[in-house]
Amino acid sequence: MSAELADVRVLIVEDEYLIALELAAALEDQGVAVIGPATTLAEAEALCRNTDGIDGAILDIDLRGEPVYPLADALRDNAVPFLFSTGCDASQIPARFIDVPRCEKPAGSAEVLRQFTRNLQLGGDAVTS
């Protein structure tokens, strides 16, 4: 467990069941309080409305053909850091998200966690593989 990540609340938005479960388990092993995983944009937005505070988010861009960008805009408006975990090419991502950290699939959960902690400054490189 990572002391730096203990009780950090992270929303997972991922439509691939096994990827979502692996990522949630890896986060929980580090002491993170996982919110979700949400598999649809509507489910993710509901979790945001009904959860008392989110410290960060890991977002799959394409949720069965529905883009996650409205949620990304809302997170940014509320100063919630996030990263994209996606199979989308960088050229497919809107310019307004050019600065958002991105982990390309098929990245494993350890790589996503490293990117998350490094780029979102939620504990540096505290995550172990």
Domain annotation covers residue 81? yes
**Which CATH number is 64's domain given?**
3.40.50.2300
Residue 80: which domain range?
A: 3-120
pTM: 0.83
Model confidence pLDDT, tens digit, residues 20-47: 998 899 889 888 899 999 999 999 999 9
pLDDT value at residue 129: 33
Domain annotation covers residue 27? yes
Q: What is the rounded CA–CA span in Å between residue 88 and residue 11?
A: 20
Tally of CA atoms within 13 A in the half-sphere of 127 that contains its CB? 27
The domain total for the chain is 1
Domain annotation covers residue 60? yes
Count of C-beta atoms within a 10 Å radius of residue 31: 16
Domain annotation covers residue 128? no
Domain annotation covers residue 126? no
Domain annotation covers residue 57? yes
Domain annotation covers residue 41? yes
Model confidence pLDDT, tens digit, residues 70-114: 999 999 999 899 999 887 777 889 999 988 888 777 666 666 777
Model confidence pLDDT, tens digit, residues 46-56: 999 888 889 99
